[in-house]
Structure 1
Amino acid sequence: MINLQFLRFRLNKKAIAIFYTLIVTFVVCNLHAQNKESLLADFELAKANKYNKPDTAIYLFKKCSDGFMLLGDTTKVIRCNIEASTLHATKGNYSESYDGYWEALSLSQDMKDSMYTGSAYDGLGVLYGLYYRHQEALANFQKSLNIKKSLIASKQLATTNVVNTYYLMAINYRDQGNYSKAQTYLDSCYITRKEAGNVGSTSYIDAEQGYLLYHNNKLQEAEDLLLDVEQSFLSSNESYLVILYSFMGDIYAKMNKVDKSSEYYLKSLAIAEEFKSHQNFVPDVYKKLGDLYLSINQPKRAYQYLEKSFNTTDSLFGVRNANNRKVLEVKDDFRQKQEMQKEILEQANVTELKQEKRILFLRNTVLTIILISSILISVVTFFYLRHRHRVSEKILKNKQKIKEEKNHEILELKNKELTSSALQLIEKDQLLIEIKNKLSSVKNKDLKELIAKINANSKHDWKEFDTRFTSVNQGFYKSLSEKFPELTQRDHKLCALIKLNFSSKEMSLLLGISIESVHTSRYRLRQKLSLDKGENLTEFIAKI
């Protein structure tokens, strides 16, 4: 009755534990789901605000990236990093943009997500292009293009996904002055979209096409096309007007419509200031205004805008901006752009600005030398320490291996000695049993005492064997008890003899039982150890 009540108590206790576990699991899963829903809502809000409120969008993308990382959703983390990096680039935060794209690239490569790997390469290509590292930019675009074409061929990606990369390559070639190559890639955009059924808007492609028409002196066609797409950006992405109005200012400047050109340049700057977007265009627009006023012989106004161009360029790309210290490897080619600006300013007799540029050049040179020296010292130190660590680790592993091998050999030797000693005890016990059997038929008080001593000696032999076994195989009984607490002391004895590979007959003599009892004990031991029919008991015990 008591056992039955105890069993009921244990069952009730177990049921309660399971019930509480289910409640906790449900609550945790529910919180997890709510957190994910909240992050998805923030992600959609960030996408909705990325054109009109880029700072808010960047904050939300960063928040979502951290949240999805905790949830283990790496794909969402990559998407957040790419979106945030794109916004950082438009705001002139090139260091954050650079880091974000590289983190996205690393994560996407680790999880073998080729689609986002291509997007990360596109972003890095844009950054290299901003620093006039066009070869590196094109190399990244080509990697993206190869990945996307491979995914399209395997039906994992829609054909239109290559349009963005073609578009970026067209811009890169246009920036280099290779307008025929730029037109080729822009044509690829139109052709790919047409093959896919002309889904979506072509505003961005049309805007770039208008600028290529300008470079080919088809000014009226260029003006008409850009005016046509203006309304599209006013309703969908007003911040892009920074670029569009800059293009239109160029067209009117070439038409010698100075007032109209100036108007659109100033509108471009106003949009850039309002949305804090496409900051990389701001220095060029200031420079174009300076050139414009220089062409109509207004050197004072020209100087004002050229100075703003220089200062804005320096704040965006210069070494003094802490945001961009991590991307100094792209400074050399950009310095050539600064030298070109210096020549223009010299022609306008801007003496004060010339002196400032000399100081900047010297400062950049010194900082570059210091940076290169620091990198070289760091690299040498790193490889030296890594080599030392590897050598030390190898020596330690070898010592550990030798020690383990030595310990194993000692254990083997002691177990052999123990086995030999036990076999000698068995032989002695056999002899004593034979003597006892012969003497047991004789009725003599002294002989009976002798037989009792023989029996006591057998028990003493086992204790001596057990003590020696425990000293050699330290922790064996402890491991057995921890893994299989239901084993008895008799089971422990049997395990010890199995470990030393004794036969059933030798076990029966040491344990003082029959061979049949040994077989029965082995069978019961297998059940307690939960061994399958195919598992070898001796091999299992040997591993403990």
Structure 2
Amino acid sequence: MKDQVLYQALMGKVYTELFDGLTPTAEKHFESSIKKANKLKDPALLIWTQLCYAECLYNYREMTKALPVYLNAIRHIENISPGEMIFPASSFKRIGYYMGTIGDNAEAIIYLRRALQHTIGNTSEFAEILDNIGQYYFASNDYKNAEKYFVQASVTAKIIKDDIRYAKTLGNIGRIRETQGNFKEAVQLLEKDIAISEKLGTDQNTMFAYTVLAKVFLKDQQWKKAESAADKAEAIAQTKPYYQNNELEIIKLKLDIYSKQNRTGEELAARRKMKVLEDSLKLTDGALPLIHANLMAQKAKYQLQMQKVDEDLQKESLIAKTAVVIAVLVAFLLTFNFFHSKRIERKRQQIYDAKIKERELEKNRYEEKLLQAQKTLHAQIEYLKTKNYHIKQLTAEIEEIKNSASSHIEEESGRLHEILDSHLMTEENWQMFRREFQKEYPDFYQTLKTEFPEITNANLRIILLQKMGFSSSEISALLGITQDAVKKSRQRLKRKLGDKYDQLFSIVFSES
């Protein structure tokens, strides 16, 4: 029976891909798959079949039909653990994308972060999820977090040579630059995105990048370039019927371009085309306004039902029953809010614990790597640079948690701060680094000791790290002091050494 469930779902996907659309035959296969999974009373299999169907509805812009399918899947997901699910990362990701598409950005980020917990790092899927979390932060006007996730996705995509994702991240960072008014850099990033996307034949991303590029040129009052980019985006949008929403957006953009230049004839033609597209979209389930209309209809239906109950109660004059109903509703709402709050808090704790575990494992991995490696100065430098990377990462995560609803968890446990403190250069790290440095640069080290006896141990740490190419910010992070403290240390040393200070730093920055 399970084989039949899988077979029907996969046949639905095959027919969808074969005809590049959701055909009646494909729908029949999906519905059969869900029906058989229901009979088996296997929630994991049922979730998988529902999300296969929902994903196809989503991909071909059948948003209204997708809504109840997603909601059913979510209802079942809340009753089982991720370990029991089939492909939990993929399941959470699909729900996250849908929630973001219908405008629930906060819920989209929650589900995509859950997906991230079950995704292997440094993979295309990992980069994809990071990129999309950034997009939903961008849609929420949280540009700081958006850029953080876009950059992480870009670095990951470049490491694993995922050119398509790398191109998308460049375009998304370009959107950030647009919001900052840095049009020149935004254009450069978007043009790189387009060059890669066109080379790889990824039409949808190329269309999206040209659309954003046209908006940047429009803001920068470069009308011809804006129109050229919009024309290229429109040419792609016209190749697929499910790109009609994109085509409508592009037509509105061109209308704005014509309006800015007082091109009345083209403006009139664009308005006619826009009207045709809007009428066409009203006949499909792909238009987002239909989702809102559907939800409003559900709300109106519920209100009518409640109104009928109230009228019946008034006719029967059953005040006591009304009081009982209200009491039950209040009790239900209180209970629901209590458990909902508990569930959210549990999710936050799980995310926090997973973050702690990940950081501890990372720390153990690179420290074990150092122990296994030959203890050379090069190995020490690589070790300290790795430490510095993790210090920056932890500092950013602590700041993120501090500004989130999970701040109390870190305030109470302080585990991220403990891991951060453990990354600072210990006395043992310092002695090992100094010993290997002395072996590699014996003359330089002896010169420091004999020619500059005024140098303290604290000064020595800064000087040796600086000699090895560490910046002031990296030194301050490794030593657990502020950049201002590093600067003041140098100023005090300069006062001590006087004319000898320039001599000291000439040998520090020499090649030997």
Q: TM-score, normalised by structure 1?
A: 0.45
Task: Pick 1 or 2: higher relative contact order, CA cutoff 8 A, min separation 6.
Answer: 1
Query: Highest Rg: 1 or 2?
Result: 1
